[in-house]
């Protein structure tokens, strides 16, 4: 079943644009201030990386400044690696200039327990020491198990644990949309 629509295609595009504006505002990335940190968007594969790419395009369109872009595979840092079925490693790519002293914005599609983000923080530690780390997610579905929150949220969606959210993006799925399913 298609599930209940939470975000239409145009909602997804508007939401990504809004987060891009908020990142520009909160990071002062276009201030021209020599003290302002370099901004690096790090997407968590797969759909977090796609969203990070879209955010970089929008941020460049709105501010004239293109943030650095990378991706961070967190497979090896998960604390439940042993209990989860094997899945192939995704790509980690660090932009030129690295993340040392940068303002890193982690980007993911859905925030749930917070364990993926915790793993991403571990992964970042092996790449350098950012000045600060922020988090952008398209959907926050609640049920946190760790003291983690997002700085930028496309939509807060109260869910039950039995529900599941589909995030569809044109690059992977042929069209944009977010749906809620009963499992």
Which residues are near ligand 5GP by CB under 6 A? Answer: 44, 108-116, 141, 164-167
Q: Which of 150, 153, 114 is nearest to 135 (CA)?
A: 150
Q: 97 near 70, Cβ under 8 Å?
A: no
Q: How far is the CB of 12 from ligand 5GP (least distance, A)?
A: 13
Q: How far is the CB of 149 from ligand 5GP (least distance, A)?
A: 11
Residue whose CB is less far from ligand 5GP, 33 or 80: 80
d(CA 92, CA 3): 32
Residue whose CB is less far from ligand 5GP, 93 or 182: 182
Q: How far is the CB of 62 from ligand 5GP (least distance, A)?
A: 26
Residue whose CB is less far from ligand 5GP, 23 or 73: 73
d(CA 93, CA 22): 25
Q: How far is the CB of 115 from ligand 5GP (least distance, A)?
A: 4
- Please enumerate in sequence order all residues whose Cβ is within 8 A of that of 16, keeping only pairs 6 or more positions apart, or say none: 51, 54, 55, 58, 138, 154
Residue whose CB is less far from ligand 5GP, 59 or 111: 111
Percent of the chain that is helix, strand, coil (3-state, to 5): 30, 25, 45
Residue whose CB is less far from ligand 5GP, 32 or 87: 87
Q: 72 near 56, Cβ under 8 Å?
A: no
Q: 137 near 106, Cβ under 8 Å?
A: no
Q: How far is the CB of 88 from ligand 5GP (least distance, A)?
A: 15
């Amino acid at each position: 079943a298609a599930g209940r629509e939470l975000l239409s295609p145009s909602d997804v595009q508007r939401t990504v644009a809004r987060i891009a504006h908020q990142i520009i505002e909160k990071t002062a990335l276009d201030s021209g201030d020599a003290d302002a940190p370099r901004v690096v968007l790090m997407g968590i594969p797969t759909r977090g990386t796609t969203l990070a790419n879209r955010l970089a395009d929008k941020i460049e369109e709105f501010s004239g400044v293109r943030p650095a872009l990378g991706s961070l595979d967190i497979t090896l840092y998960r604390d439940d690696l042993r209990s989860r079925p094997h899945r192939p490693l995704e790509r980690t790519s660090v932009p030129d200039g690295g993340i040392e002293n940068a303002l890193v914005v982690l980007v993911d599609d859905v925030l749930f327990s917070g364990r993926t983000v915790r793993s991403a923080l571990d992964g970042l530690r092996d790449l350098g020491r950012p000045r600060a780390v922020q988090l952008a997610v398209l959907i926050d579905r609640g049920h946190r198990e760790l003291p983690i929150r997002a700085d930028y949220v496309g939509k807060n969606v109260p869910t039950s644990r039995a529900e599941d959210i589909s995030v569809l993006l044109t690059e992977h799925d042929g069209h944009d949309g977010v749906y809620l399913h009963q499992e």
